[in-house]
């Protein structure tokens, strides 16, 4: 299965007030492994950046003025995510900006399956902090380089967090109601698929049991029952 972990940075909190994307990043996973393939662009938002937003991501308009506009990178981005399952933390936020940008170009909204890791985290850890920093700490993912928010770094961290959260599940798609937040993305199906061990993993497991059995002088219960 091809999955794309995606994150954005913006000029402000709400595209309804004219806020735009300033950074867009996506990293590819296949069969729950990062492939090294990625899409990353800084974007000229063609408008001012809110002070609070700039404090979060550190991107200034001066830095972004010579960067491409979203319309310049849209075809490449759409090609990169085509046919994939998206993994996003707080998906309504990022999708609302992406669909707004696509709408400005008279392009249809994204119509791809989406896993919202914030929804998943709240189900797994109700009542606890579930932002990206909290999840990195909970799942022992090193986020020491995350001084400021950055779309590429956050997408890479989220990929590690997602793999730790799902632990061997091939896919877990959370049902997301509320078309208003998602634009035209709509609702998503909930499904759980268990990933079976492949021959190499089974062989490694058998070898480990053999070593335990030898060290315990034949007392390995798992080896006896295997």
How many CB atoms neighbour CB 218 within 10 A?
8
* Rounded distance between C-alpha atoms, residue 123 and residue 158, angstroms: 17
Distance, CA of 39 to CA of 57 (rounded, Å): 18
The answer to whether 89 is a known catalytic residue is no
d(CA 54, CA 51): 5
Residue 107: helix, strand or coil by DSSP? Answer: coil
Helix axes 91-104, 70-81, angle to 10 degrees: 120
Residue 2 near residue 37, CB atoms below 8 Å? no
Residue 162, both tokens: 């997602």
What kind and span of H or E run contains 37?
strand 33-42
Identify whether the C-beta of residue 172 lies closer than 8 Å to the C-beta of residue 192. yes
Q: Which of 19, 57, 89, 149 is catalytic?
A: 149
Which residues are known catalytic residues? Answer: 149
């Amino acid at each position: 299965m091809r999955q794309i972990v995606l994150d954005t940075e913006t000029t402000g909190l709400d595209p309804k007030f004219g806020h735009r994307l300033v950074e867009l990043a996506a990293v590819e996973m296949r069969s729950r492994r990062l492939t090294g393939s990625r899409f990353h662009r800084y974007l000229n938002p063609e408008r001012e950046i809110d002070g609070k937003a700039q404090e979060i991501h550190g991107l200034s308009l001066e830095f972004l003025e010579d960067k491409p506009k979203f319309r310049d990178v849209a075809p490449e981005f759409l090609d990169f995510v085509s046919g994939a399952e998206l993994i996003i933390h707080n998906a309504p936020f990022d999708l609302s900006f992406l669909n707004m940008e696509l709408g400005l170009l008279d392009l249809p909204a994204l119509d791809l399956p989406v896993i919202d890791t914030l929804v998943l985290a709240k189900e797994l850890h109700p009542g606890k902090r579930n932002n990206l920093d909290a999840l990195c700490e909970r799942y022992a993912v090193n986020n020491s380089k995350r001084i400021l928010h950055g779309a590429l770094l956050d997408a890479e961290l989220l990929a590690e967090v997602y793999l730790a959260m799902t632990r061997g599940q091939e896919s877990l798609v959370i049902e997301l109601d509320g078309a208003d937040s998602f634009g035209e993305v709509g609702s998503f199906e909930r499904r759980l698929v268990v990933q079976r061990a492949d021959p190499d993993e089974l062989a490694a497991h058998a070898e480990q049991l053999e070593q335990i059995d030898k060290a315990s002088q034949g007392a390995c219960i798992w080896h006896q029952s295997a």
